[in-house]
Chains A and B, each alone.
Chain A
Amino acid sequence: MAIEQTARPAAQRPARPRQRREREEELLVWPDLLFPEFICAVLFTITFILLSVFIDAPLLNRANPDITPNPSKAPWYFLNLQELLLHMDKAWAGVILPTIAIIGLIMVPYLDRDTEGRGVWFGTKNAVKIFGFGAIYASAINILLILFDAGKFEAITRWVPGLQPIRETQLDGSEVLVNKGLLSVKDFEGRFAWPEDLRNIPVPFNQQVCDIYFKDLHLWCNFHLNLPGIMSGQVIPLSLIFGFTVAMIYTVFMLGWLRTRRDLMLVLFTGFFFTFLVLTVTGSFFRGPGQELVPPWGIVVDEG
Chain B
Amino acid sequence: MAVEQPGRPRNTRERFQILGDLIYDKMFHNFVWQSIFRSGYPNTPRNQMLAVATNVFLHLHPTRIHRTHVKITHTYCLGGLTFFMFLMLTVTGVLLMFYYVPSVDRAYNDIQAIQTDVRFGQLMRNVHRWTAHGMVIFVFLHMFRVFYTGAYKAPREFNWVVGVILLVLTLLLSFTGYLLPWDQLALWAITVGHGIGGSAPYLGDETQLVLFGGFEIGQNALIRFYTLHVLALPLAAAIFMAVHFWRIRRDGGMARPL
Contacts and interface: CB of A to CB of B under 8 A. Distances in A.
Interface of A: 23, 25-34, 36-37, 40-41, 44-45, 48-49, 51-53, 55-65, 67-69, 72-78, 81-82, 85, 90-91, 94-96, 102, 105-106, 108-110, 112-123, 127, 131, 217-219, 262, 265-266, 269, 273, 303-304
A22 to B, nearest CB: 8
Interface stretch (B17-25, B142-150, B227-235, B238-246): B142-150
A296 to B, nearest CB: 18
B220 interface: no
B237 interface: no
Given A105-B164, A109-B152, A117-B150, 10 more contacts: A23-B64, A28-B49, A29-B62, A57-B126, A62-B184, A63-B104, A94-B200, A119-B255, A262-B150, A266-B148
B119 to A, nearest CB: 15
Given A115-B258, A119-B149, A78 B192 contact: yes
A76 B168 CA distance: 15
B98 to A, nearest CB: 17
Interface stretch (B4-12, B30-38, B66-74): B66-74
A273 B147 CA distance: 11
Nearest to A95: B200
B39 interface: no
A113 B154 contact: yes
B interface majority secondary structure: helix
Nearest to A39: B77
Contact of A123 (B130, B150, B188, B193): B150
Contact of A60 (B70, B148, B154, B184): B184
Query: Which of A109, A117, A122, A303 has the most chain B CB within a 10 Å cutoff?
Result: A109
A48 B123 CA distance: 10
B200 A65 contact: no
Given A30-B49, A82-B192, A69 B184 contact: yes
B237 to A, nearest CB: 16
A94 B255 contact: no
Interface in B113-136: 115, 122-123, 125-131, 133-134, 136
Contacts of A217: 202
Contact of A77 (B112, B136, B258): B136
B175 A61 contact: no
Given A25-B66, A59-B115, A75-B189, A36 B77 contact: yes
Interface string B204-231: 1100000000001100000000000000
20 contacts: A28-B64, A31-B48, A33-B69, A33-B70, A44-B134, A51-B130, A57-B128, A59-B112, A59-B185, A63-B182, A64-B187, A75-B174, A77-B174, A91-B204, A95-B197, A108-B147, A118-B151, A123-B149, A218-B202, A219-B202
A32 B70 contact: yes
B123 A52 contact: yes
In order of increasing CB-CB distance, the 6 nearest A-B pairs are A52-B126, A72-B188, A109-B157, A119-B255, A63-B187, A57-B129
Contacts of B40: none
B173 to A, nearest CB: 11
Interface residues of B, number: 89
B149 to A, nearest CB: 5
B101 interface: no
Given A25-B67, A52-B130, A59-B115, A273 B186 contact: no
Nearest to A56: B126
A91 B157 contact: no
Contact of B64 (A29, A40, A51, A117): A29
A15 B81 CA distance: 45
Nearest to A57: B129
A262 B104 CA distance: 51
A59 B63 contact: no
Contact of A40 (B49, B80, B115, B151): B80
Given A109-B153, A119-B150, A119-B255, A57 B62 contact: no
A94 B151 contact: no
B177 to A, nearest CB: 9
A40 B84 CA distance: 10
Nearest to B158: A109
Contact of B196 (A30, A60, A85): A85
Contacts of B80: 37, 40
Contact of B123 (A26, A53, A105, A122): A53
